[in-house]
Structure 1
Amino acid sequence: MNHFPITRAIFDDDDLASIQEPLKSGWVVQGPFVAAFERGFGEWTGAPHAMATTSCTTALQLCMAALGVKPGDEVIVPAFTWVSTANVVEHLGATPVFVDVDLDTFNINPAAIAAAMTPRTVGIIPVHLFGEPAPMDVIMALAATHGLWVVEDAACGFDSWLDGQHVGTFGTFGCFSFHPRKSITTGEGGMVIGGSAEQAALIRTLRDHGASRTDLERHARRHSFLLAEYHHAGFNYRMTDIQGALGTSQLRKASAIMAGRRQAAAWYDALLQGVEWLRPPRRDPRVRHGQQSYVCLFQPEPVTLEAGGRLFDRRNDGMSALESRGVITRQGTHAPPHLDYYTNRYGYRPADFPNAWLAERCTITLPMYAGMTASDCEQVVQALHETFAGTV
């Protein structure tokens, strides 16, 4: 059997040529290639403003800082997501208020949002997990009713659409990741989209130590020896021009990359029809799924708290066997309230967020990348059947 990694970044000669351009120019920090990447990303998503950062995590933190999140505030976040969604709130001294997710989508449950609101709630961070848009119509209505801001964690949301609108454009801000497991990549890197012109300007300043003008602007004018003014206590969250150049070339092939990922997902969907012990991602006619990951629910028996321990062990044994055959899988993601830091700090138990706890223990992510063939998908699914035969 061939080796099937969990994902594979798509690089070509265009990428190689693009990243050499900043090296040839001698300007490798944030500059014209970052600006070009921002313009292209804004056009792709339909956002009026796009601000590149070092990661989705720092993008989220910039948004929290720009919105004035402070100690004593509460921010609602899903209990099944990458830990940085909660960490950015915690780092500003506010409290991340976890709410449970819907096991059908792995996204935040709007009913749980409403139940978790208190007079200290200032905002909501919904996550478009694995490329499945969160129910933004319901979330935005809740936010409007209660006077809350919404920052979308769209780390997985590139080319994810709900009712024809790109995720990240519903709330005040949307934040994206360009980590190598994402559909397009700059190695590490992120993007903030949205906001008013004033908010976008503040994000640009905060990512650059709080400077009143960028290094490129300073060097292009007279008196370049004079440093900028610093009206804010900012951060160093600037994307390099090498990454910006790679981002622009990745955007040029993004349509082909997404077509390849969607074709692989369609093959998996067909191959897994009628497999009752492994539930594939749901398909909603309102949604154009971003296919960042192909995440299934392992359900050889009803997925309950009582069965969670058994399912966890059976799933892990199977994933280990798949790994030995060259088929690399992953759990979907983790449940931050059940990680050591948050458990020790807040005393959470599995029953507090049962769906998140079960999703952490019962999800299996299949290999997914552009360039997979029908035969590749068939071999992965055949390995699944052979590995779990007799145990499901």
Structure 2
Amino acid sequence: MPRLPAIVTSAIVLAALGLAVSGCAAPVDGTPVDPAPTGTAEPPRDLDAFEQQVRALLTVPPMPSFSIPTSLLSTDANQRIADELELDPGLYQGIAVLDARCTEAGDAGAADAGASAVSGAQNYDDGTVDITVAGDGTGVYDAPGVHIAVLADGSGVYDDGETRLSVSSDGSGTYESGDRRYTVRADGSGTYTDDESRIWVDASGAGGYDDGSVRVSLSADGEAFGDGTDDEIAVVAETLADGMPLFPPVPRIEVLEPTGTVCGTVIRLDSNVLFGFDSATVQQEGQEHLQRVAALLVALGSPRAQVNGHSDQVGEAEYNRELSERRATVVRDLLVQAGVASDSLAARGLGETEPLRAETLPDGSDDPAARQLNRRVEIVLLD
């Protein structure tokens, strides 16, 4: 069975935010009303934040990368490291393990960094992961717990048992995960629901919004009414007027040819799991991942390693470099606190200088899947 150098694709996840609303009291029959006791009145809502929260429900977020199969990107020695970290084959759940490759100049990077795409049909089957890829990037990917199919017109399906996604060539589709369901039609109509919020828009432009506190209805001629302040109703009406966003095309399955010579191991950590937006504070799930990595590094005798922070290309380059450096430093410090020898780890921020994928699709539109893949922290073991 031929060995494929590397295969990458992604799937959509939607995030929902809960909302709150403030109220006010009015005098009756003109009778003066004593002011409410200090501290009992709720502060007015931050309308900018409210608008961002409403729009978040109508935004298709980045697709988190599912696993670069470690058996395709790692030598047997590095596959043993993946086994020690108990990674699910085929799924990128915050951590991936792959070969480090070195150039003649001595520069080290992940096996898929700077790799070029390979044309032609390919098949890989090791009894666990089964992948068939046509020369145009379409194909089928099956691994334990995940099924992905990509068609030539940009349509496809993703199903990991918890999240189910179906996308048509016209951008319509459905998404389900837990209590969240997202349905969109090609004309921009559709619905979004979860346990706390509901949004709907029909083809005429009418629609509605309900988060349990603010309830707004929008008529086809643009008239808005409901429960909430005038400003809140106006925010919802303006947001709903944009309609439901279409799903982007399903990314192609790329077959990549790594360059350079195997010279170590890369443990890749998804920055979207480690950190919140624009933050260098590690979240709970990220801390759990780092504890697993630290235990492995201690067991390996604290090998010499470089902790590299990477960003996407949104924003100023210097700010992205600084943020990626702060994140790399935080990861290094937490690994040291967990027992890894401090003199074995160095941290640096590379910002947007070493993207794994171009962040625009062939038609020039934004590729959120690539942006998410580019946001990462990599621990490069050189020993």
- TM-score when scaled to structure 1? 0.25
Q: Comparing both chains, which one has the higher relative contact order based on Cα–Cα distances under 8 Å and sequence gaps of 6 or more?
A: 1
Higher CA-based Rg: 2
More helix by share: 1
More strand by share: 2
